[in-house]
Amino acid sequence: MPVPTASSPEEPTAQQLKAIRELLGRVIPPAADELGRRFAAAGHELALVGGPVRDALLGRPGKDVDLTTDATPEQVLQLVEGWADAIWTIGIEFGTVGLRKGDLQLEITTYRSESYDPKSRKPEVSYGKSLTEDLARRDFAVNAMAARLPGHEFVDPFGGLGDLRRKTLRTPGRPEDSFNDDPLRMMRAARFAAQLGFTVAPEVVAAMRDMAGRIEIVSAERIRDELSKLICAPRPRAGLTLLVDTGLAEHVLPELPKLRLEIDEHHRHKDVYEHTLIVLEQAIAQEEDGPDLVLRLAALLHDIGKPKTRSFEPGGRVTFHHHEVVGAKMARHRLSALRYPKDVVADVSRLVELHLRFHGYGDGQWTDSAVRRYVRDAGHLLNRLHKLTRADCTTRNRRKAERLRRAYDDLEARIARLAAEEELAKIRPELDGNEIQQILGIKPGPLVGKAYKFLLDLRLDRGMIGKEAATAELLRWAAEQGLQPPASSS
């Protein structure tokens, strides 16, 4: 259902309020209303609040059921005892109780206000007395709307409905106060710009610019989670641009603004920052099953090694030799600092390292051995590497773009042919470790690994040659190493 328009955003008409109540009645789960009646019978308030109300008015599907109440966490626990199928208290120190009723998961948070000490990474929580007071401490007006339960009375003291209509992000009070209470809200503004396509109000942008350094008191884990949501949003360019323009990126992802390299009349080259955003968008366009965080991070970071490797050659030519190697190390460092899981760090940095490998392909001059190595080095990342490599072509020269496309089409066709013939993804030497030990008469140890690597290189270079020929090559290699295999093997 579209957001009802209003002659005055702060004062919806009676007809609009009726439409909103009917809409909320359709999307609010019956269990939430049942819980509302339970709280009301005990003399307490309960309301659906924040994102679920916003998304209902925007017609966006939502799974979260976020509730707020005047009851303390201890009182909440008493009220849901015997009603909820499961209860968890992992967030109770921040006033939140989680519970499950059937297939529905709910979170109930006591009215509160929270703020950060200038030297603290954790909020100080104090409980509030009213729903309006609770809404006043929310991040943005579009998230400061509520529906009282069980009657579905719409509560919007800060004009969030009008902001939805205008597609604008404002804070309920002064943005400086809001961001001082929780600096992560500055990143959340960028994330909502990317997710919802909203414009951030000028006074909010100004406060983000003035207070960007405040983000450094927020934990790396919280920053990581917000950044991931932004990157996986439908329009990440909008959010990333806001982070860079306000100076926030210098504190959370400093490699990104550094891509804005100077371009003058003597040293012309691509705008690496703009190129990066285009590569990200072109990678997103190739996604098949929803947002791929690893692919998007790799697209965003694939050229971060360029500022460190830029060199000016005679004639005004600019080079970035080995920027993929330097960039891979930088990506590993940044993602580790942001506390990304080890597998994400490894996969993204590997894609950054490999993203230029294709450009040695030329006009199909690679041998089958080189193609096998390309597949072997990419491993489980091959499909993502295909997408990143194709996305990395941002040239406006149609002839060059078409040549690159044909070349990569040819490479993929060769990979498919070799895969069908040789099961490339499962390439192994034709002799396993036990056979190597038996043929050479050696025990487990480093020498077995060296022999295995020799046979793997042989397999990549020559394809399948059969166990007999592989054994002969192994014995030849062993002789070169000064080994004397058992008589039965020679």
Q: What is the pLDDT of residue 253?
A: 97
CA 257/CA 245 separation, integer angstroms: 9
Distances (CA, A) of 327 to 85, 169, 227, 459: 49, 35, 19, 31
Q: What is the pLDDT of residue 14?
A: 79
Token pair for residue 361? 């392909």
Superfamily of domain 1-163: Beta Polymerase, domain 2 (3.30.460.10)
* Spans of the chain, pLDDT less than 50: 1-9, 264-269, 490
Q: What is the pLDDT of residue 465?
A: 86
| Three-state DSSP state, 162 | helix
Q: Give the predicted TM-score (pTM) of the model.
A: 0.80
Q: What is the pLDDT of residues 58-85, one digit of tens each?
A: 888 777 889 999 999 999 999 999 999 9
Residues 392 and 302 sit within 8 Å (Cβ to Cβ): yes
Q: How many residues in the chain?
A: 490
Q: What is the DSSP letter of 36?
A: H
Q: What is the pLDDT of residue 4?
A: 41
Single out the residue of 415, 427, 410 nearest to residue 462, CA to CA: 427
- All residues at 6 or more sequence positions from 380 whose CB lies less than 8 Å from its CB, including other chains: none
Token pair for residue 62? 């939502």
| Three-state DSSP state, 305 | coil
Residues 272 and 320 sit within 8 Å (Cβ to Cβ): no
CA 2/CA 19 separation, integer angstroms: 11
Single out the residue of 53, 15, 236 nearest to residue 141, CA to CA: 53
36 C-beta neighbours (distance < 10 Å), count: 24
Token pair for residue 217? 């008191």
In which residue ranges of the chain is CATH 1.10.3210 found? 254-426
Residues 349 and 304 sit within 8 Å (Cβ to Cβ): no
Q: What is the pLDDT of residue 24?
A: 85
Q: What is the pLDDT of residue 383?
A: 92
Q: What CATH number belongs to 254-426?
A: 1.10.3210
Strand-pair partners of 47: 68, 148
Tokens 């891979």 — which residue?
Answer: 328
Q: What is the pLDDT of residue 63?
A: 76
CA 206/CA 213 separation, integer angstroms: 13
Q: What is the pLDDT of residue 33?
A: 93
